[in-house]
Structure 1
Amino acid sequence: MTMRLSLTAYKQVQPRVNFQGGLKMKPFFRRKDKVVFVVGPTGTGKSRLAIDLATRFPAEVVNCDKMQVYKGLDIVTNKVTEEECRGVPHHLLGIADPNANFTSDDFRHHASLVVESIVTRDRLPIIAGGSNSYIEALANDDPEFRLRYECCFLWVDVSLPILYSFVSERVDRMVKAGLIDEVRDMFDPNKFDDYSQGIKRAIGVPELDHFLRNEAIVDAKTRRKLLDEAIDKIKENTCMLASRQLQKIHRLHSIWNWNMHRIDATPVFLTSGKEVDNLWDKLVAGPSTMIVNQFLCDKNYASPIIPSESIKMEPISVPAMAAGATR
């Protein structure tokens, strides 16, 4: 059920100008707008949580995934479908030229405009995605953004061994959904692509290069072997991405001391069947809704969080887990 709140009533009053010296003028005050960030490694359910929240508050979602910002390769980049959006407006999703580099500065510029547009319509911006460099550029490196907005960070966390298994299985589902054909459609065997530019940096594209260059000139057994190796590499690189993203979240929290709330979704990923949705609402969507509601009401909404310096990154064989998780 959507909560029809007027966000204007919950904005903090902050001093905009503080005159010093002999000027006898009253300070000019402005109300500080609210922004929610949903962060976490790939595969933890950030998009689902953002959409859940946007159906419970008058809100819109702003994508901050640096591959999903590009047009095309919807399967490879794992963009949310129209059905999954459930009518929630999404911004900065599939808007950039796939051959250009959409930088952190580009994101900061476009996201600032989108957020301003959303709050002008008295709605809550929910910025969701795993590209922490984008988040840092906006939330920390933009003085005007920091001055104007108060931020609440929801960190969706999943135990890495469990997450590795999940994202590996997700790669298999993406392959069944047409990932190979999607990359093949943009592949030109007559030239060597630059996989450091635009959407071609996305995991799932460079890993298939060797297979696509040779699939027409090798026998069926070799072709199957090359494809399996490419898929294993996609899984390995996805797991490594998840690990890097988690490490950066720890670092950013340690450096900037963000107002961050850790939501442990691990039990959800250990469950199957109908119980998944119930557990998700109980452990993830429900608590997050309460945190956001308290945030909007300016109540004391502090929740337990494990300090980043106390979290130990257990050594895990990423390649072994990625390759063997679903075989």
Structure 2
Amino acid sequence: MWRILILSASSLYELPHSICKCRSSTNLSLRYCDIKFPAMVHLTSLKTLLLEWVALSPDTFRHLISNCPLLEELSLLGCNQSSDLDIYVENEHLKSLKIYECGREDLNGTEMRVYAPNVISLELGYFLTRSSYCIKNLSSIKYAGFVDPTDVSGYDYCEQDESADSVKILGDLCHVQELKIYSAFIQLLSMREVQMLAPWPINAKCLALEAKITKWELPGIAYLLKNPSKLETLNIELLPDRKELSVLDDDFKCKYDFDKRDYWRSKELEFSSLLQNLKTVKIYELLSNYHPYSDVDNDLKKLENLIELVRFMLRNSKA
């Protein structure tokens, strides 16, 4: 009896129908396959499902998922690379949904729609290249993470014509209790901040940032912190030098340039009462790039933005 089954190939293959009758399988991974399900699918013990680089019509996806009554974790990597991706899941046991997409021009003009009312945890790793990302129903969600897809899938970053509109999906997730955001997404939020676009009312009590705290991340961080905030805990994970990524073009930076040294001082009035619930700030991996013979002055210079941010939060926190 199969408990864990992984099917993978270097080229597209047709999924054997016998796989759909493995009643005892608890984990199933399908990669690079042409999925044509039989009328009867019996994956009654399946708890974890990974679909990678497969194309799924809405009907095919629903047919598969509806016949996995015990499904708890669903992950999709690079699916529907040239068409809309509709994720409709009503399974009562599904608690974790992970969606990773690559930066391909084929995605332009396509949409992603998510309907998963029982999901508690949503993780999105994507390069914001679809025309629209829409949350239809995630009424039970408590955690949402926008993560670097290269960490998970190995995809290389592909420059696209990204805009501040690409991050509107965050507005659909403003009710989560815990929110995690990575550097490229923070920079896109910087676009909204410097253009003085209205912030979404984020209600997260815990905010985690994966960032370098570079100049063009500062407005994005301000954008997240200036919401009518219930924020109690801020976790900052400093990315190593090799992970530095710039997604804003030079013309935009020139048009909206600012002095990073005075940035937080210029925000004092805006934040006079917005961080009143902040109690804990945690910073990780400060020494990830440490070398015993490194230039201490240079290392401290790299941390200037972070030090100013911490000082700013200390001055404006009331807790």
More strand by share: 2
Give the TM-score, by structure 1 length.
Answer: 0.24
More helix by share: 1
Give the TM-score, by structure 2 length.
Answer: 0.24
